[in-house]
């Protein structure tokens, strides 16, 4: 199975919708998606890993219209896609719930809300992936166990929808309720399909990375053993700059490395990190959010790989070359706990091609060049 072209990468977002700069950025974002999809024809599922739209720069009356433009590359190719929402998908003019409703008008959208708890966010759900030799049956689901589970989590952030000033921030971490739902649901799936004996291989997608990614970065990212860009230091992560009296994330959404507000980290994403670390069969977690981070690292506590994707859209901060993360798994690889991943750049080049396995972190790979691409502000 191949995931792409935008697995674990932030997608095209409309910035400055009121002048020609925003629409030109959006058009270029779609071109990037088209280019990557053409170069990766074996794609089975596209993952939009958060910040589909810059909600603060849209209007209330047409904010979800940008979803239509964003999904057209998949619609034209008959591809399915699934989303995990990010902090910029929640603001006074837009909400993750509204984006979900718009996505679900398309039959190829697989984005869902399986945890009916508005305080836990929206995009908490899973997708089962079945082996090619087996067709699941409603009458006997245990006869066809999934070969892989894809988990999606809502890291929230941003601001409450349709609020009067001052804006009310949303917590910018995966809710402990979502972490509990994850544990309980995964245990039920293992009990149903594998008689409580064998974990089901899994991958996870969440927009804002946890503090475990920061710990990996502080340990040091080796350019040849963990290839990728490592320009966002420290990486912006869940519960960053959360003050005891603000109820959530500070203004700005935590998307840039430093919001200028200093508070002590309170471990708000601890329940989620514990759930990830304790879930047998979980192979890798893919995040976006930090546009200047594209590496994978081995999280020793959970035996899980933590990865960043390439920023895909021309919205948002930074001018690192755009691209999309690719993730490939096979039946044999899943049995051995092996995942292959790389980044396809808008130039067509492949970088950061690695195998996530027992020797990752010791194997030697080509260094990833740190290139920039800029859309001219004026003219053509």
Task: List the structure tokens of 234.
Answer: 């420290």
Alpha helices in 172-262 (DSSP H): 176-194, 211-219
Q: Is there a domain that residue 369 lies in? A: no
Q: Is there a domain that residue 313 lies in? A: yes
- Spatial distance between the Cα atoms of 41 and 219, rounded to a whole number of angstroms: 37
Taking the CB of residue 375, how many other CB atoms lie within 10 A of it? 13
Report how far apart, in Å, the C-alpha atoms of 83 and of each of 12, 113, 123, 150, 205 are: 13, 11, 7, 11, 9
User: How many domains is the chain built from?
Assistant: 1
Q: Is there a domain that residue 368 lies in? A: no
What pLDDT, on the 0 to 100 scale, is given for residue 13?
Answer: 42
pLDDT in tens, the chain (380 residues): 777 655 433 333 444 555 666 788 889 999 999 999 999 999 999 999 999 998 888 888 888 999 999 999 999 999 999 999 999 999 999 999 999 999 999 999 999 999 999 899 999 999 999 998 887 777 677 778 899 999 999 999 999 998 777 888 999 999 999 999 999 999 999 999 887 788 999 999 999 999 999 999 999 999 999 999 999 989 999 998 766 554 444 433 344 434 445 567 889 999 999 999 999 999 999 999 999 999 999 998 778 999 999 999 998 899 999 999 999 999 999 999 999 999 999 999 999 999 999 999 999 999 999 999 988 765 43
Q: What is the CA radius of gyration of the chain?
A: 19
Crossing angle of the two packed helices 96-103 and 65-77, in degrees rounded to 10? 40
Q: Are 52 and 255 in contact (CB under 8 A)?
A: no
Q: What is the pLDDT of residues 308-334, one digit of tens each?
A: 999 999 988 999 999 999 999 999 999
What pLDDT, on the 0 to 100 scale, is given for residue 252?
Answer: 35
Q: Is there a domain that residue 375 lies in? A: no
Task: List the structure tokens of 231.
Answer: 């320009």
Q: Strand, coil or helix: what is 297?
A: strand
Report how far apart, in Å, the C-alpha atoms of 183 and of each of 89, 146, 247, 307 are: 26, 17, 26, 21
Q: Strand, coil or helix: what is 70?
A: helix
Q: Is there a domain that residue 252 lies in? A: yes
CATH of the domain at 54: 3.60.21.10
Q: Is there a domain that residue 116 lies in? A: yes
Q: Is there a domain that residue 309 lies in? A: yes
Give the residue from 186, 10, 26 showing the smallest Cα distance to 85. Answer: 10
Q: Are 230 and 293 in contact (CB under 8 A)?
A: yes
- Spatial distance between the Cα atoms of 351 and 348, rounded to a whole number of angstroms: 10
Residue 330 domain boundaries: 2-356
Q: Strand, coil or helix: what is 101?
A: helix
Task: List the structure tokens of 154.
Answer: 């809502």
Question: What is the residue-wise DSSP string for 141-191?
Answer: GGGS--SEEEEEE----SB-TTPPSSP-BPP-S--HHHHHHHHHHHHHHHH
What pLDDT, on the 0 to 100 scale, is given for residue 62?
Answer: 84
């Amino acid at each position: 199975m191949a995931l792409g072209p935008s697995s674990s990468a932030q997608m095209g977002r409309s910035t400055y919708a009121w002048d020609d700069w925003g629409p030109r950025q959006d058009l270029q974002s779609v071109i990037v998606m088209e280019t990557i999809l053409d170069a990766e024809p074996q794609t089975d599922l596209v993952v939009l890993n958060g910040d589909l739209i810059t909600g603060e720069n849209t209007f209330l009356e047409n904010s979800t219209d940008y979803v239509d433009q964003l999904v057209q590359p998949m619609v034209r190719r008959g591809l399915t896609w699934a989303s995990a929402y990010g902090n910029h998908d929640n603001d006074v003019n837009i909400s993750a719930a509204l984006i979900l409703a718009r996505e679900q008008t398309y039959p190829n959208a697989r984005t869902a809300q399986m945890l009916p708890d508005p305080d836990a966010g929206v995009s908490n759900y899973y997708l089962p992936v079945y082996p090619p030799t087996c067709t699941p049956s409603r009458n006997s689901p245990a006869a066809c166990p999934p070969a892989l589970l894809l988990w999606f989590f809502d890291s929230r952030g941003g601001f409450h929808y349709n609020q009067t000033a001052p804006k009310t921030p949303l917590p910018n971490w995966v809710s402990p309720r979502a972490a509990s739902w994850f544990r309980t649901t995964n245990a039920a799936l293992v009990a149903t399909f594998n008689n409580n004996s064998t974990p089901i291989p899994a991958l996870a997608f969440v927009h804002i990375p946890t503090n475990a990614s920061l710990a990996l970065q502080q340990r040091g990212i080796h350019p040849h053993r963990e290839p990728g860009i490592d320009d966002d230091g420290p990486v912006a992560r869940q519960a960053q700059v959360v003050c005891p009296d603000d109820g959530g994330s500070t203004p700005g959404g935590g998307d840039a490395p430093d919001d200028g507000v200093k508070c002590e980290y309170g471990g708000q994403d601890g329940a989620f990190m514990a759930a990830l670390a304790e879930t047998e069969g979980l192979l890798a977690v893919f995040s976006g959010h930090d546009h200047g981070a594209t590496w994978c690292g081995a999280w020793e506590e959970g035996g899980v790989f933590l990865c960043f994707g390439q920023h895909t859209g021309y919205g948002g901060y930074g001018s690192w070359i755009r691209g999309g993360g690719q993730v490939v798994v096979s039946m044999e690889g899943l049995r051995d706990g092996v995942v292959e991943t790389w980044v396809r750049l808008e130039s067509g080049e492949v970088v950061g091609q690695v195998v996530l396995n027992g020797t990752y972190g010791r194997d030697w790979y080509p260094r990833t060049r740190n290139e920039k691409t800029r859309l001219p502000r004026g003219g053509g």
